[in-house]
Amino acid sequence: MKRGQKSYDGVSLCSPITIPYQRFSSETAHWWAGTALKELSSKTGLKPKDFDGLIFSSFSSSPDTVVGIVQHLGLTPKWMDHIPTGGASGVMAIRRAARAVQAGDASIVACVAADTNQIDSFQKTLENFSRFSQDATYPYGQGGPNATFAIMTDNYMRKFNLTREEFGKIAISQRKNALSNPFALMKKPLSMKQYMDAKPIADPIHLFDCVMPCAGAEAFIVTTPAIAEKLNLSTVKIRGTIERHNAFSEDPIQYRGGWAEDIDDLWQSSNCSPDDMNFAQVYDDYPLIVTMQLKDLGFCAKGDVKQFINKTDFTISGNLPLNTNGGQLSAGQAGAAGGYQNVTEALRQSIKQPLGDQIPKSSKGLISGFGMVNYDRGVCTGAVIIEADEIR
């Protein structure tokens, strides 16, 4: 039943938008989504009626889904989708919108992720996250995702002989990258000593392994090259993609994700290899997840993961620029927008319109998503290989 992936010809990704994050916001997810659309409109000249496709992701828009957003914000799309997969939602939005555009079901798809962070939003999201977490995770100390990822990290460190220093290197490199991003919530450099001495949250996870929940919105447009040209928008092409949910469910504790199952499909369909990547923007709710993605996607195939982390420079000027906006670890986690910021940053670097420093060479890159700890592990995974196209 295995079939090859069809190409993404005739699809352009453009107009990455990031609405500056706020630690707390009294506004709603609807307000943040509207702000993102307003920004998309002012950058492109497109009006509500011009968007014939909409994808929406949010944790805090309840009780509204994309349906509520469409009416609330006055859109009349002929195609829409709600993607409730958090950290995997950006990658999935690309895949869905691209195929809709290719098939002619829609021509201009706005992909929007928006979340507010009112004082009690995070608590509410945790309490109502999923049935399994209500029954079998949340009542166990209620460490939130920290405790679940702590157990995964504990297991991973023993399995692959890692120490906290390797995770520290990732956090510190991303902080370095964040310093040039004016929107990043973290503004100060991070030293290994600060990382190691940080407050314990859930062993072995300490403060700087955790993201800071915040409010924000991210958006981009998926359309055809012809429309992008007419609108005078810079474009990025899709080389190949993968998506997988609930992979390796037989592993007692998660140490790999769906990427490991579909890695060959990703690189074959993209006709390139990890060595060709000028950058990687991977989901980073915890340094462990960054490590897991890079390993599963083949970046440390030749050596062990410890060696790979130690010998790689993840900063913007390094040999594998990683999460060049600082990622969620340093820029903040704006709910579902956290699953989009890897996409928008990748697009910005590709079209050379970065928020902060520009990666010297940025023609090909990897975007990877990871979402939804429904119970004891992240369920949703996906990845996209992109290539810079027209810069206008």
- Residue closer to other proteins, measured from CB, 252 or 360: 252
Closer to other proteins by Cβ: residue 123 or 163: 123
Dihedral angle computed from the Cα positions of residues 96, 98, 102 and 103, in that order, rounded to the nearest 10 degrees: 10
Q: Which is nearer to other proteins, 67 or 136 (CB)?
A: 136
Closest to other proteins by CB, 56 vs 138, is 138
Give least dist CB 152 to other proteins, A. Answer: 8
To the nearest whole angstrom, how small is the minimum distance from the Cβ of residue 195 to other proteins? 16
The minimum distance between CB 138 and other proteins, in angstroms, equals 7
Give the closest residue to 388 by CA, choosing from 267, 226, 238.
238
Report the candidate in 78, 93, 40 with the shortest Cα–Cα distance to residue 241.
93
DSSP result, 127-196: HTS-HHHHHHTTTTTT-THHHHHHHHHHHHHHHTT--HHHHHHHHHHHHHHHTT-TT-S--S---HHHHH
Q: How far apart are CA 19 and CA 386, in angstroms?
A: 23
Q: Which C-beta is closer to other proteins: that of 2 or that of 199?
A: 199
CA dist 249 and 359 (Å) reads 37
Nearer to other proteins, 219 or 305 (CB): 305
User: Is the separation of the CB atoms in 257 and 28 below 8 Å?
Assistant: no
- Given a contact cutoff of 8 angstroms between Cβ atoms, the answer to whether 385 and 270 are in contact is yes
Amino acid at 109: V
Query: Rounded to the nearest whole angstrom, what is the least distance from the CB of residue 315 to other proteins in the complex?
Result: 29
- 87 contacts: CB under 8 Å, gap ≥ 6: 283, 285, 338, 339, 369, 370, 371, 372, 378, 380
- Cβ proximity to other proteins, 321 vs 335, nearer residue: 335
Cis preceding-peptide flag for 252 (omega within 30 of 0): no
Measured at the alpha carbon of residue 135, what is the angle toward residues 131 and 140, in degrees to the nearest 5? 130
Q: Which CB, 202 or 346, lies closer to other proteins?
A: 202
Pairing of strands 236-245, 378-388: antiparallel
Tokens of 197: 């001495």
- The amino acid at residue 219 is A
CB of 215 to other proteins, least distance (A): 18
The single-letter code of the amino acid at 378 is G
Tell me whether residue 133 or residue 342 sits nearer to other proteins (CB atom): 133
> Min. distance of Cβ 218 from other proteins in angstroms?
25
Least gap, CB of 58 to other proteins (angstroms): 21
What is the smallest separation between the CB atom of 129 and other proteins, expressed in angstroms?
A: 11
Cβ at position 248, least distance to other proteins in Å: 13
- Name the residues that contact other proteins, by CB under 8 A: 122-123, 126-128, 131-132, 134-144, 146-147, 150-152, 154-155, 158, 199-205, 249, 252-253, 375-376
